[in-house]
Amino acid sequence: MEQFLKKLIHEPLVQFLAIGAALFLLSGLFGGSSVPQSGQAGRQSVRIVVTPGQVQHLTAQFTRTWQRPPTETEVKGLIDEYVLDEVSYREAMAIGLDRDDPTIRRRLRLKLETLNEDIAAALPPTDRELQAFLERHPDSFRREPEVALRQVYLNPDRRGGKTDAGARNLLARLRAAGPDADLAGLGDPLLMLPNDVPLSTGSEIGRLFGEEFGRSVLALAPGRWEGPFRSGYGLHLVLVTERKPGRLPQLSEVRTEVEREWLFARKKEVQEAVHKKLLERYTVVVERSPVPGEKGSAVAATLPATKAR
């Protein structure tokens, strides 16, 4: 039975309908009836009933915060606060304090958007969809190529006009000595960076030496001293000792990642579609006072249903 329920919960339709149902339920609980209409002061509902369910909710929240149930006094304190919240809420709504408040408007928009995202997220992707997504966005999932390298640093600040000549000489010496050249005492000191960098991606190398340098060394074929290449510190002579090409991974290797990206894209898609759909239900008119010196006062409609007048 439990197995069945678990399976059921993961059924897209069930999740789907559950959201809808949740929305409906929320509307019943909080939409309209318990909230007095602003302006009419809602005097018909001066009763505040704190239901066992609400007490349970307050108690549960306390218990989750403190990892112990509240004492009787604490429960009373929680209820008192809740009642005061409710009274203030009703009174504030009655005199329209919720209107024209950017904090409230933005909060509600955030809540609506979160809701839309939930619905988008309720449809788990199939392998076919993920495979297609991976193929459509290979660059997002491609494993970067890696190189291992050795480097010798030259400090142009210290060498001044002789930097280029120094670099040429040193390069010749290094080429003569080959890939296993002893680097001790060669070049200028840069003690906090390694002479030997193990297999790393361009971005990892970029972290240490700067992006431009990362890109330069990635383009090198292994086995030969090259350079000089510029980094954030100065110039470097570089030998790539090993190179591992980049590749597009199989879906099975990156399923979690692809699913995350798929979901994010889906959420955006739903969000935009819902905005569009909702806008279709409104006629938007933007009125602006004419700007002196500008021809006409109509403002270009940026939204599909917007009419300028």
Partner 1 sequence: MRNRNKRVQLGMAAFMTMTVAFLMMPVATPVYAEGSPGLPAPTSDVESSFPAQKHFSPYAGRNFPTQAFWGDTHLHTGMSMDAGAFGARLKPEDAHRFARGEELTSSTGLRVKLSRPLDFLVVADHSDNMGFFPRLYDGDPKMLADPTGKRWYDMVQTGGQKGVEAAIEIIVAFSQGKFPEALASLPGSQAYRSAWEETIRAAEKYNEPGRYTAFIGYEWTSNTGGNNLHRVLVYRDGGEKASVTEPYTTLKPLGSDNPRDLWKWMNRYEDKTGGQVLAIAHNGNLSNGIMFPILDTFTGKSFDRAYAETRAKWEPLYEATQIKGDGEAHPFLSPNDEFADYETWDKANLDFSVPKKNDMLQYEYARTALQTGLQLQRELGVNPYKFGMIGSTDSHTGLATAEEENFFGKHSGVEPSPERYKHPMAQTPNGRLESYDMVSSGLAAVWARENTREAIFDAMMRKETYATTGPRMLVRFFGGWDFTAADVKGRLPAYAGYSKGVPMGSDLSPAPKGKSAPTFLVAALKDPLSGNLDRIQVIKGWLDEKGGRQEKVYDVVWGDAGKRKPGKDGKLPPVGNTVDVKEATWTNTIGDPELITVWRDPDFDPKQPAVYYARVIEIPTPRWTAYEAKRFGVTLPKEVPMTTQERAYTSPIWYTP
Query: Site mask, partner 1, residues 230-259, x = CB under 8 A?
Result: -xxxx-------------------------
CB of 68 to partner 1, least distance (A): 8
* Identity of the residue, 60 or 285, whose beta carbon is nearer to partner 1 in the bound complex: 60
Burial of residue 241 (CB within 10 Å: 0-12, 13-18, 19+) is middle
Name the minimum Å distance from CB 59 to partner 1.
Answer: 11
Residue 284 is given by DSSP the state E
Q: What is the largest CA-CA distance in the chain?
A: 97
Candidates 274, 256, 271; CA nearest to 125 is 256
- From 161-169, 240-248, 270-278, 282-290, give the range in contact with partner 1 by CB under 8 A: 270-278
Give the residue with the Cβ less far from partner 1, 41 or 215: 215
Q: Of 243 and 267, which has the nearer Cβ to partner 1? A: 267
- If the CB atoms of residues 5 and 176 are measured against partner 1, the closer one turns out to be 5
Taking the mean position of all CA atoms in its chain, how far away is CA 250?
Answer: 24
Minimum CB distance to partner 1, residue 264 (Å): 7
The three-state secondary structure class of 139 is helix
Confirm if 221 and 171 have CB atoms less than 8 A apart. no
CB of 182 to partner 1, least distance (A): 13
> What is the footprint of partner 1 within residues 99-138 (CB under 8 A)?
102-103, 106-107, 109-111, 114-116, 118-123, 125-126, 129
Residue 55 lies near partner 1 (rule: CB under 8 A): no
Which residue intervals of the chain are DSSP H helices?
Answer: 2-9, 12-30, 52-66, 72-94, 102-121, 127-136, 138-141, 156-159, 163-177, 202-209, 211-218, 255-280
Site for partner 1 in 197-226 (CB under 8 A): 203, 206-211, 213
- Rounded to a whole number of angstroms, the minimum distance from the CB of residue 190 to partner 1 is 6
Contact between 190 and partner 1 (CB under 8 A)? yes
Q: Is 151 exposed, middle or buried (0-12, 13-18, 19+ CB in 10 A)?
A: buried
